[in-house]
Structure 1
Amino acid sequence: MGLGSKMEGPSAPANRRDPYEVLSVSRDSTDQEIKTAYRKLALKYHPDKNASNPEASELFKEVAYSYSILSDPEKRRQYDSVGFEALDAEGMDMEIDLSNLGTVNTMFAALFSKLGVPIKTTISANVLEDALNGTVTVRPLPIGASVSGKVDKQNAHFFGVTINEQQAECGIVVRVTSNAQSKFKLLYFEQDVNGGYGLALQEDSEKTGKVTSAGMYFLHFQVYRMDSTVNALAMAKDPEAAFFKRLEGLQPCEVSELKAGTHIFAVYGDNFFKTATYTIEALCAKSYEDTTEKLKDIEAQILRKRNELRQFETEYRKALARFQEVTNRYTQEKQNVDELLKQRDTIHSSFSVTRTANNGSSSSLSNGSSSKIPGEDSKAESPSEDGGSEGKDKSTKKKWFNLNLKGSDKKLG
């Protein structure tokens, strides 16, 4: 059974070709060779370069789908041994997103989303191509220094951070901030086999307080990045459940340490209409040992909290379902009680001569009822002091007034 029929967006192409054939690599290709082949083809079918070619997106999808198999050791092993059937048997949707491809592909993953959510802006094909060809200008960024600048939209400023053995051993942090709250991306490139630079990591700027910032932490332990797209997708599916997905976006960074040598970083202008103002810093973690420990601790706490939330979500949903159940019963019971009391009132009001008479068709009954028991009628009408039938009240009062007078006259006589 093909996945194409039940899938849309970032999914398997309807007619699947051999991933090795799609990427033009051999079955014994190394991970690096597969990555390089993928980068070149992804650039070839990048939307910047194919505005007039609607087939490019389908070709890109095929390339990304193939890479999602071959870049994952377990999926590659399964495909090599059984073919697509092994992947189908697992019910793999093969969604082309960060969970399958890693941050190296964020700029492409953003192009496709099952829900059509515009997640992230893509990096200009020109910037990626210039980097891959090694034709970019790289400025030095010494450890312990900061450089400020302004980068045009869809352009990038490249920086070379050179570290020695001791600094590599201690760990390195590269951070970018913008007091102007500009939107930007911090990019990390690795040396490619052809001598250029291939995008390995990227971080989108996030607003923190009065600044926007992005950072990369190479500290010899697993550091995590927050991918806000997970929460965006969760909100699109179910806004009420978004809270439980807040921490699901925490993804392990693919690179946790850097070797001695020169490493290439870039600040990419992500503003839509204007330049992005930024300050980039490269730091050695040796000067920040306490801070490094705090980061390690807080991320461990967040991961524990994420597990707690997963469990709590189950409890919450059960409680919510129970609450919905009792709320529905409350509404039903209220209706039942109201109906019973209404029926009771109706039965009570049936015990009435007046009501029976008034309901009768004969007018003589009506007349008879008023003359049958004059005493009762008088009693019923005389206590009415609340502005009821004013005419009746006056005549009744007059009648009793005259009677009293007569009585007193007799006594006096």
Structure 2
Amino acid sequence: MINLRLSIMMFLQFFIWGGWFVTLGTYLANTLSASGGQIGMAFSTQSWGAIIAPFIVGLIADRYFNAERILGVLHLCGALLMYTMYQADDFTAFYPAVLGYMIAYMPTLALVNSVAFGQMNNPSKEFGKVRVWGTIGWIVAGLMISYVFSWDSAASIADGMLRNTFLLCAIASFGLGVYAFTLPATPPKAKGQKTGLRDVIGLDALGLLKDRNFLVFFLSSVLICIPLAFYYQNANPFLTEIGVENATGKMTLGQVSEVLFMLALPIFLNRFGIKATLLIGMAAWVLRYLLFAFGNADEALFMLIVGIALHGICYDFFFVSGQIYTDAKAQESTKSAAQGLITLATYGVGMLVGFAIAGLITDKYTALAGNHQWQDIWLFPAGFAAVVLIIFLLMFKSEKVQTDA
């Protein structure tokens, strides 16, 4: 019964994120007439939220308040900010609301995990079955937008109907905010303990960077976030602009792929090792963007579909296997700090730089009429990912690590 309640929590948590973040670029460009740079600013709020999140969780949630109560308060605040985004008529009014929202939302990603782990007797066996409902929630949101409401159709976008995604997510956020207060108590684990800035941002794990292999992996992880930002920011506007029907619904194939390749990841890690697995992940980024650059909505639609479906390899084989590698390299006393450091470096710094570059490149290849030179836009991250892949291939020495995959 408790796992059912936790599954509902996970479903709503990622339904909310998937319900507005995927179509954000399309909405800003078409409804608020935002530039590429402004769209990059809006997406970079995710990075600011990721940078600030450890302070909220590490300095407040872990020391003073129950996780489920902070989760509830943050989602209730998020509902109000999401409704403000729904009402915004221009980017000037929209940006402060989305910045505030992401500062409130990003800490909840750690909090739902804390609530789930706190109620499980055997997290290693139980958590995956609960967490998968988060991915299902993201998928359902995309399918609803495309196939139930058709908010991402050309006619609906022209009528400003895509704005309704924010209202839908405001309602879901309010629901999760109330629901969180009904969840079992998850008291702060570090109550009475001294937790400083060093612990929060993972500075205790900096010693890992003395290891050449880990340093190469760490820098590659930051750099590969630049191509990643192009996908988050431009994929939905690209598919919509070139005439792919139900683009948001089709993009949920990426989440389905993520689940399937997560099951295949242990096989690859155990059979081919960490270097080969990471290289496959980076190669998938290169291939994905080449498919986007040369695909179209007609006879080459299959290229776009394959590019979307590669999301599982792109994400699982690099980022998830990277988390496993980080855990294997860290000492027992610095495992949490190491994960915090890599998360801050990638989703914080790496994505922040990535969204800024994606905005600049998008503006550079946008005509005065507002049409994009999509082939040039996608060839940039393809080339960038290829350079990162080559650097990693040459500088990362093969090693055998115990990944427990």
Same topology, TM > 0.5? no
Higher strand share: 1
Q: TM-score, normalised by structure 1?
A: 0.25
Higher helix share: 2
Q: TM-score, normalised by structure 2?
A: 0.25
Please tell me whether Structure 1 or Structure 2 has the larger radius of gyration of its CA atoms.
1
